[in-house]
Chains A and B, each alone.
Chain A
Amino acid sequence: MLELQSLYRSFRGIPAIADVSFQVAPGEIVGFLGPNGAGKSTTVKIVTGMLRPNDGRVLFEGQDVSKDMVAFRAAFGYVPEEAHLYNYLSGLEYLQLVGRLRGLGEALIEVKATRLLKLLHLESWQYSPISSYSKGMRQRVLLAAALLHDPKLLIFDEPLSGLDVVSARMFKDLLELLAAQGKAVLYISHVLEVVEQICSRVIVIAKGRILADAAPSDLTKLMKLPNLESVFAQLVEQQETRSVAQEIVEVMQIANG
């Protein structure tokens, strides 16, 4: 459903991503991993239309999205990593704003928004301004806003951050159900254990290039490593963390005599 073809983007002459290509088919949950500064957020911004690539294209259902950005945006739901919300609106008002901007009917918005908030345990908070919400609550509002219009493509950037165990489990179950309904899900996260659990395919990006694009079990078998974490560490050439930790504690205990 979503296809990226040889995307290239540079900032002030320094390439941020080069030759990034992958696909997300309907019914698939694809994980997208990479260390900080690898070009993950640049790719996501290009997919959601906030940036234009210098080269390459993004295809949605076979059509180039740059030809009709508005229609593309109407078809996907996006939960960003940093929760940008209008703090002075209440949870319900924010969902109403998003629903109206997406062209849903008033009655439908009312029904969906209130019931979604109730299912996400935000019922008693739906009239308070978002500035009084905790992190997990804001995350749930963003989730509801992304799902309100029944999009075909879902892009989640660290959706579990701030969610407690129960909500996280429910979200994982929800993802499976949505994928079963035929939606395409792009799941970006740092929590490798969760990615290993739920994603059918994993894409690893580092230094602007795709390093791997396969199912987690295939990756671990191929590289003969026990879990995804070690695969990841090897692929992105991570430094030895134990020694870094020891150095930190030593610095902490510096005392000039």
Chain B
Amino acid sequence: MHRLIQSLVARLPLGFRVLYRQFLLRVVDLEALSIEADVERFLGQFAGVLILISLISALGAFFSTIAPPTTPEGWLALAWHMEQSAVATMMLVVGLLTVVSWDSTFPDRRDVMVLSPLPVAPRTILLAKVCASGALVCVAIAALNCASGFAWPLILGTHFAGLPGFARFCVAWWLTVVGASAFLYCSVLTVQGFSALLLPRRTFLLFSAILQLAAFGLFLGVYFIEPSFLSPAAFMAAKGSWWLACTPSYWFFALFNQVSGNLPADLAWLAWRGWIGLGVAVTGAAASLLLCYLRTMKKTVEEPDLVPGTHGWACTPRFGGSLQTAIVLFAFRSLVRSRQHRVVLAFYFSVAFALAIALLRHELSAPAPLPITPEFIVPTILMMTFSVIGLRNVFPLPISLTANWVLRTTQLCPPEKYIAATRRTQLIFAVLPVWIVSAFLSLSYRPWHQVAEHLVVLGLLGFAFAEVSLIGFHKVPFTCSYLPGKSNIQLTFWAFVFVLLILGVSFAPFEQSVLGKPVQYAELIAVLGAAAFGLWAFNHHRAKSAVLYFEEIPEEVITTLKLAYAPPNRNQGDTQDA
């Protein structure tokens, strides 16, 4: 079998095989995840995580045989729940994959410049890229469903229809999972391809960047927010709702049931939507890839490196002294224009974004006016925390590290001014947007003065968080080298989140009780203000004696070997050598 595969593989043209291996290594956007080209290990870890999830799900299946649901409704609910979650998880994983491997299927300028003088035909490049991306998606599908894709059909299929039911459920499961992934992947490809064709390049780059972040937020948001319907009745009740009509995971869920034969007749239209959607996505992706290769490769070569007629802003805003303005603008441009930073920031901001959307949904669905409750206070505080932590976690990632010589040779101000500029960046880009969004979201909450009081508290908390996050941060953001081994950020991050969640949840009722009582409120404000000011003063004092550093040097580990030195015996007579 192995030999057969090898002989088949050897028949493929050499250029295709070589390029396929190359592109497989690059499908994942290396820069976005700051991996130092050990992609195979990363892919292995990624597949391992998915296999683990699949095994856990399969274990759940076996546990359900121990305590099976007693009623047919119970079985139906279990079946529907598992099917919906399978489809939703698969779509989430594939969605995250598309975000992480954004643009990898289309030829970029470097590929064109490196490969076109070499004797490879453009269609080989296209095929190799498509196969490499496809391989990654296939690995994800296989890993995520290796165990659960057989365990659950076994349990559910045999319950509903015996042994042929198992086979049918298997087919339905795998078909749905593959179809959902293909749909998602191909629709993203279609959007990317057609926008590359239709838009001028500069607009396309901007659009692509925004789309990548929006897709990230969308996939995460939809996964967490979409409701799970556990019975046909619930489905009917929500039939008119726009959730059902628009969310593809329901289409594929209906498709699953159609193939496995359990679909209520009323929902057949959903399944058909799934089929149509799949067909449209696949054809669209094929068309856009072909057109892109035919046109874009030629356009990339012909295109001058510089687009004539680009213009800049006539005047840029000032953020204080010239040093402050320089650093704030630099931070802003780096965040906006660097893919790596955008993706990392998107992870944190999308959590905040999801919270904001949940709040918005709550607001829109409930009748106004609403009182200020912990349900409003806790999300705003969490949003503030996530955005401050997110921005702070992005600061150590360098951009164009070797270009920091210009900052070192123009270091004309004492380091405290640089640190003050960093603080300003943190305030302007993390605290201020969240504050504005919270203010906007609080529009339908009453009474006004309580809203205002909460916003003041939120502002002070944001200031305090920003100060805490900058303790010991004596560098200019994005200019210091990054030692991945040194960061235990992830661990501290999750610990921090956990602690904050507990603190926030317990602080919120206290704050709610204080709003509207002037004396206690004033006390609260005084305490918070003093804390914020104290932190600021502490940082300011430390900054005065700080030295800006631009290189993370690994700590020196000094080991003593404890060897003893025994000098040779010295007698008087020995000094005379014969």
Within the complex, the shortest CB–CB distance from B516 to chain A, in Å, comes to: 57
Within the complex, the shortest CB–CB distance from B112 to chain A, in Å, comes to: 8
> Hey, which chain A residues are within 8 Å of B18, CB to CB?
97, 100-101
Q: How does the 8 Å CB contact mask read for B251-290 relative to A, with 1 for contact and 0 for none?
A: 0000000000000000000000000000000000000000
Q: Which of B36, B118, B301 contacts A73 (CB 8 A)?
A: B118
Within the complex, the shortest CB–CB distance from A54 to chain B, in Å, comes to: 12
Q: Judge whether A48 and B302 touch: CB under 8 Å.
A: no
Binds B, one of A82-90, A160-168, A236-244: A82-90
Q: How does the 8 Å CB contact mask read for A100-126 relative to B, with 1 for contact and 0 for none?
A: 111100000000000000000000000
Instruction: List residues of A (42-62) whose CB comes within 8 Å of B's CBs.
Output: 45, 48-51
Q: Which of B30, B115, B117, B301 contacts A78 (CB 8 A)?
A: B117
Q: How does the 8 Å CB contact mask read for B102-117 relative to A, with 1 for contact and 0 for none?
A: 0000000010111111
Interface of chain B, main secondary structure: helix
Q: How far is the CA of A111 from the CA of B117 in the complex (A)?
A: 23
Q: Which of A49, A74, A85, A88 contacts B30 (CB 8 A)?
A: A88
Q: How does the 8 Å CB contact mask read for B12-41 relative to A, with 1 for contact and 0 for none?
A: 001100110010011000100000110000
Q: How far is the CA of A89 from the CA of B389 in the complex (A)?
A: 34
Within the complex, the shortest CB–CB distance from B37 to chain A, in Å, comes to: 4
Q: Which of A49, A85, A88 contacts B117 (CB 8 A)?
A: A49
Tell me the count of chain B residues lying within 8 A, CB to CB, of chain A: 23
Q: Which of A45, A71, A102 contacts B118 (CB 8 A)?
A: A102
Q: Which of A82, A85, A101 contacts B120 (CB 8 A)?
A: A101
Q: Judge whether B119 and A50 touch: CB under 8 Å.
A: no
Q: Judge whether B302 and A97 touch: CB under 8 Å.
A: no
| Interface assignment of B121: CB less than 8 Å from any CB of chain A | yes
> Hey, which chain A residues are within 8 Å of B117, CB to CB?
48-50, 73, 78, 80
Say whether, besides A86-B110, A97-B18, A102 and B116 are in contact (CB < 8 Å).
Answer: no
| Interface assignment of A98: CB less than 8 Å from any CB of chain B | yes
Residue from the set A51, A71, A86, A98 with the largest chain B CB neighbour count within 10 Å: A86
Q: How far is the CA of A97 from the CA of B14 in the complex (A)?
A: 11
> In this complex, what residue of B is CB-closest to A76?
B117
Within the complex, the shortest CB–CB distance from A218 to chain B, in Å, comes to: 32
> Hey, which chain A residues are within 8 Å of B116, CB to CB?
48-50
Q: How far is the CA of A146 from the CA of B401 in the complex (A)?
A: 30
Q: How far is the CA of A82 from the CA of B26 in the complex (A)?
A: 22
Say whether, besides A11-B302, A97-B18, A103-B14, A86 and B118 are in contact (CB < 8 Å).
Answer: no
Q: Judge whether B119 and A70 touch: CB under 8 Å.
A: yes
Q: How far is the CA of A97 from the CA of B15 in the complex (A)?
A: 10
> Hey, which chain B residues are within 8 Å of A70, CB to CB?
119-121
| Interface assignment of A136: CB less than 8 Å from any CB of chain B | no
Q: How far is the CA of A71 from the CA of B121 in the complex (A)?
A: 11
Q: How far is the CA of A51 from the CA of B116 in the complex (A)?
A: 10
> Hey, which chain A residues are within 8 Å of B14, CB to CB?
100-101, 103
Within the complex, the shortest CB–CB distance from A133 to chain B, in Å, comes to: 12
Q: Judge whether B119 and A84 touch: CB under 8 Å.
A: no
Instruction: List residues of B (111-134) whose CB comes within 8 Å of A's CBs.
Output: 112-121
> In this complex, what residue of A is CB-closest to B305?
A82
> In this complex, what residue of B is CB-closest to A71?
B119
Within the complex, the shortest CB–CB distance from A86 to chain B, in Å, comes to: 6
> In this complex, what residue of A is CB-closest to B30?
A88
| Interface assignment of A26: CB less than 8 Å from any CB of chain B | no
Q: How far is the CA of A216 from the CA of B112 in the complex (A)?
A: 36
Q: Judge whether A85 and B119 touch: CB under 8 Å.
A: no
> Hey, which chain A residues are within 8 Å of B120, CB to CB?
70, 101
> Hey, which chain B residues are within 8 Å of A50, CB to CB?
112, 116-117, 301
Within the complex, the shortest CB–CB distance from B296 to chain A, in Å, comes to: 14
Q: How far is the CA of A144 from the CA of B184 in the complex (A)?
A: 43
Q: Judge whether A51 and B30 touch: CB under 8 Å.
A: no
| Interface assignment of A35: CB less than 8 Å from any CB of chain B | no
Q: Which of B25, B37, B110 contacts A84 (CB 8 A)?
A: B110
Q: How far is the CA of A100 from the CA of B115 in the complex (A)?
A: 13
Q: How far is the CA of A209 from the CA of B301 in the complex (A)?
A: 22
Within the complex, the shortest CB–CB distance from A65 to chain B, in Å, comes to: 12
Q: Judge whether B119 and A73 touch: CB under 8 Å.
A: yes
Q: Judge whether B119 and A101 touch: CB under 8 Å.
A: yes
Say whether, besides A80-B113, A85-B114, A86-B114, A97 and B119 are in contact (CB < 8 Å).
Answer: no
> Hey, which chain A residues are within 8 Å of B115, CB to CB?
101
Residue from the set B19, B37, B112, B301 with the largest chain A CB neighbour count within 10 Å: B37
Within the complex, the shortest CB–CB distance from A17 to chain B, in Å, comes to: 13
> In this complex, what residue of A is CB-closest to B304?
A11
> Hey, which chain A residues are within 8 Å of B121, CB to CB?
70
Q: How far is the CA of A45 from the CA of B116 in the complex (A)?
A: 10
Within the complex, the shortest CB–CB distance from B12 to chain A, in Å, comes to: 13
> In this complex, what residue of A is CB-closest to B116?
A50
Within the complex, the shortest CB–CB distance from B235 to chain A, in Å, comes to: 49
Q: Judge whether A84 and B114 touch: CB under 8 Å.
A: yes
Q: How far is the CA of A175 from the CA of B122 in the complex (A)?
A: 32
Q: How far is the CA of A67 from the CA of B543 in the complex (A)?
A: 68
Q: How far is the CA of A103 from the CA of B110 in the complex (A)?
A: 22
Q: How does the 8 Å CB contact mask read for A118-157 relative to B, with 1 for contact and 0 for none?
A: 0000000000010000000000000000000000000000
Q: Judge whether B119 and A102 touch: CB under 8 Å.
A: yes
Q: Judge whether A88 and B114 touch: CB under 8 Å.
A: no
Q: Judge whether B119 and A74 touch: CB under 8 Å.
A: yes
Q: How far is the CA of A52 from the CA of B435 in the complex (A)?
A: 56
Q: Judge whether A84 and B113 touch: CB under 8 Å.
A: yes
Q: How far is the CA of A70 from the CA of B19 in the complex (A)?
A: 16
> Hey, which chain A residues are within 8 Å of B301, CB to CB?
45, 50-51
Say whether, besides A84-B114, A85-B114, A86-B114, A51 and B119 are in contact (CB < 8 Å).
Answer: no
Q: How far is the CA of A70 from the CA of B301 in the complex (A)?
A: 17
Instruction: List residues of A (1-57) whose CB comes within 8 Å of B's CBs.
Output: 11, 45, 48-51
Within the complex, the shortest CB–CB distance from A84 to chain B, in Å, comes to: 4
> Hey, which chain B residues are within 8 Å of A98, CB to CB?
118
Q: How far is the CA of A82 from the CA of B110 in the complex (A)?
A: 11
> In this complex, what residue of B is CB-closest to A101?
B118
Q: Judge whether B15 and A101 touch: CB under 8 Å.
A: yes
> Hey, which chain A residues are within 8 Å of B119, CB to CB?
70-71, 73-74, 101-103
User: Could you pull out 28 A-B pairs where Cβ atoms are within 8 angstroms?
Assistant: A11-B302, A48-B116, A48-B117, A50-B112, A50-B117, A51-B301, A70-B119, A70-B120, A71-B119, A73-B117, A73-B118, A73-B119, A74-B119, A78-B117, A80-B113, A82-B113, A84-B110, A84-B113, A85-B114, A86-B110, A86-B114, A88-B30, A100-B18, A101-B15, A101-B19, A101-B119, A102-B119, A103-B119
Interface residues of B (CB under 8 A from A): 14-15, 18-19, 22, 25-26, 30, 36-37, 110, 112-121, 301-302
Nearest first, the 10 closest Cβ-Cβ pairs linking A and B are A84-B113, A73-B119, A88-B37, A74-B119, A70-B119, A50-B301, A100-B18, A78-B117, A50-B116, A48-B117
Interface residues of A (CB under 8 A from B): 11, 45, 48-51, 70-71, 73-74, 78, 80, 82, 84-86, 88, 97-98, 100-103, 129
| Known contacts A101-B18, A101-B120, A129-B37; 16 further A-B pairs (Cβ under 8 A) | A11-B302, A48-B116, A51-B301, A70-B119, A73-B118, A74-B119, A78-B117, A84-B110, A85-B114, A97-B18, A100-B14, A100-B18, A101-B15, A101-B118, A102-B118, A102-B119
